[in-house]
Amino acid sequence: MDKEKIEPEVLQILGHIEKGENFLLSGGAGSGKTYSLVQVIKSVIEADPHSKVACMTYTNAAVREIESRVDHPNLLVSTIHDFLWGVIGKYQKELKKELINLLNSDHAGFKLPEAPVPNDYFDALEDGITYKEWTRLTLGEISHDEVLELANVMFKNYPLLCSILKDKFKYIFIDEYQDTSPLIVETLLIHLQQSLKKNVIGFFGDAMQSIYDEDGIGNLDEYLAAELVVEVQKKQNRRNPLAIITLANDLRTDGLEQEPSKDMKAPNMKDGVVKQGSIRFYHAASYDEDKIRAILGWDFENAEQTKALFLTHNLIAPKAGFVELMLIYDKDPIIGLKKDILNKIKDNNKRGVTNPVITEGMTFDQVVDLFQLKNIRRQLKKDIILSSVPDLYNQLKDLHWEVMRKIYIEKEELIDDKKQDAREEKKKGSKRDRLIRHLFKIEDTLHYYRKKNYREFLKRTEFRIRTNKDKVQLKNFIETLETMADASIEDVINYAAKTGVCVKDDHLDLFIENNSYLYGRVKQVKYGQFKALYQYLEGHTPFSTQHKTKGAEFENVLVVMDNGNWNDYNFEYLFTDRTDKESVLDRTQKIFYVCCTRAKENLVIFYIMPQDNIAVKEKIIKKAQQWFGVDNVIPLL
C-alpha cells in the first residue's frame, strides 16, 4: 500500500509488527477502527504475501464486512468460536481427554448425571466430539460456551498446539477485543508463549464501550502493565458533531481524548468544517412522550434515522406485547420478597444491628416470619391484580431457605442481546437463560424455513428430508407451529421436539430440572408473548434500550433516563459524583458514553428527576449544566 495513504496510527502499528510486538489499537466511538483493521490486514499481506492472517470478530455480519474489503486467499475471517473450533476440532483424542477432565471437575457448565465419567466415555462416538448450535454432552455435542473453555485448556496443556497455530497464522487480529472472553486473551497472550515460534497478536477496540461486563475482558490493562502488548491510540472521530465529541471526552475515563477527523470527507464534516450538532438535557418528574415528541419534532416513525433509547425494558414490554414474560423475569413478587429479606440482612449488617438467627433447615415461610415480613406476605395473598401470587407463594414457602436464597430470576436472562434492526447479525454468546435460548432456536428455525434458507434451517433441526413425503410432513409441522400463538410455551416446545423441528438439549433439560419454579411460570404463558419478544429482540420494532445500541448510529437520538433502580447501573451516581460504588459508576458511565455517541446530529437526554431530595436534584442539574451547557438544561413543567 502507498504509505502516504496509510493512517498514522496504522504506520505505528506496522512498526510494532516489524519488531514482533503484540499491539492494541484503542479508538473511541466513530474513530474508524474497522477501517484501520482493514488497512493493517492489507499492509501485512502486501509486505508478507506468503504468511497467513487470521481475523476474529464477533458476528457473521462483521465477518462479511471485512471479507468484502479484503479479498485474499491467505486471509481467514471468522467468528471467534468458529476459529477456535477450526483449530482444536481435529485433535479428537486430546479433545475427549480434556472434556472428560472438565466433566469430572467442579467446573460450572460441565455436568453429567453419571460421575465420574470413565476415560473411554466418548470412544464409541462415530463422529467424535462435534460443535453444534446446541449442547448434548452425553453425545459429545458442544456449543459456544464449551468451545471457549475447551480451547483454553487445550492450548494450556498442549504446547505443540501453540506451535501449530503459530506456524499456521503469523498474524492474528481480534476485532472488538473488549467484548472478548478473558479466556481468549489468556490463550493468545499467555498460553501461546509456551511456543518459541514467532507470531503477532493484534487487538482492536475501545475499553469505554465494554458494556457486556460479565462476558468480555473490558480492557487489557493487566497485559499492558506486563508489557505483553503495546498500545496505539486513534484519536480521530468521524461520526459525531463537535458538541457530542466534547461531551464524550468529558465522559471518558481512560485518558483518550478524541478530536474531529481532518478528513474533509468524513461524515461529521460539512464544507470543510466539523458539524456543530446539538445536545440538550430536559428534566421533569415524569416522562410525557407526547410532549417531548412535540417539542423535538423528529420523525420517530423512521427507525433508521431516529431512535428513542429507554433505560428499562419494562417501559417497552406493554407496547411490544411481551409484558407477561417481563413481569415474570423482572417483577416476580416471591423472588422480590426473598430479595427484601436479603436486603434487610445486608442493611442490618451495615448499621451494626443483630440479625435474627436463621437456623439450619428453616423454610422460606419461617424466615419470612422471622424477619417480621408477615404484612408483605399477607398483601401478596390479597393481591387482586396478580391473582396467581398466592399459589406462587405456596409453591416455595416450604422450601429450605438455603435453597430458596439461591433462586435468581433476572431480566437480562430474558432480554439480552437485542438487535437494533432486522439487518443486524446476532453475536454468539448471550446472557439469555437456556429456556429463552431454546425458544429462540425454535423461532430461528421457523424464520430460516420461511425465508427458504434451507442450509441454515438444516443446521438447526434434527428433521431429515429424504423423500417428498418428508417435505410435505415438514411443511405441515411448520404450519402448525406458526399457528400456535395461543398455545402454551410448553406445548410449543414439546411439539417442536416431538416432530424433530427443534430438539431439546442437555442445557434445556438441566434448566428445567434446576429452575422448576421459573419454568413452571413461563411454560403456561401463551407462545404469542414469546413471538412478540422475538420480534422486539430481533429488531423488528421501533423500540430500543441503551444496552444494545452499541455499534449503531442515528441522526437523532433521544435517551430517556430514570433513576436507575438497578444493581449494576444507576444514573444518579453518574450525575452526583457518587464514588462509594465504583463498579456501578464505571458501568453506568460507559453505558451513557455509548448512548451519547450514537448521535450523528442531535442528542437529547430526558432525565426523570427525583422530587423528594432537593440536594440530589441540584447536584444532577449542576452536573448536567457542566456537560451540556447552562442554556441546554431545560426543565419541563
> Binding site membership: which residues?
27-34
Rounded to whole angstroms, the Cα distance separating 247 from 277 reads 11
**Where are any strands of DSSP class E within 454-570?**
544-545, 554-561
* Contacts for 363 with CB less than 8 Å, ≥ 6 apart: 397, 398, 399, 400, 401
By CB atoms closer than 10 A (0-12, 13-18, 19+), residue 465 is middle
Q: Are 25 and 232 in contact (CB under 8 A)?
A: yes
Q: Quick one: which of 78, 54, 27 has its CA closest to 201? A: 54
Under DSSP, the state recorded for 427 is B
Strands 633-635 and 278-284: parallel
Whose CA is closest to 526, among 503, 479, 492? 492
Interhelix angle 434-450/527-537, nearest 10 degrees: 80
Cβ 179 vs Cβ 429: under 8 Å: no
Triad 236, 240, 246: Cα angle to 5° = 75
Residue-wise DSSP of 50-89: TS-EEEEESBHHHHHHHHHH---TTEEEEEHHHHHHHHHT
Reply yes or no: is the peptide bond before residue 116 cis, omega within 30 of 0.
yes
Q: What letter would DSSP give residue 353?
A: P
d(CA 109, CA 87): 22
Q: 615 exposed, middle or buried (CB, 10 Å; 0-12, 13-18, 19+)? A: exposed
Is-contact 255 208, C-beta < 8 A? no
Contacts of 425 (CB under 8 A, 6+ apart): 59, 60, 61, 62
Say whether 38 sits in a helix, a strand or coil. helix
Annotated binding-site residues for ATP read: 27-34
Could you give the CA distance from residue 81 to residue 184 in angstroms, rounded to a whole number? 10
How do 230-234 and 269-270 pair as beta strands?
unpaired
Which stretch of DSSP H or E encloses residue 92? helix 92-103
Q: DSSP H helical segments within 405-488, as ranges?
A: 412-415, 434-450, 454-460, 468-482
Gap between the Cα atoms of 73 and 304, Å rounded: 35
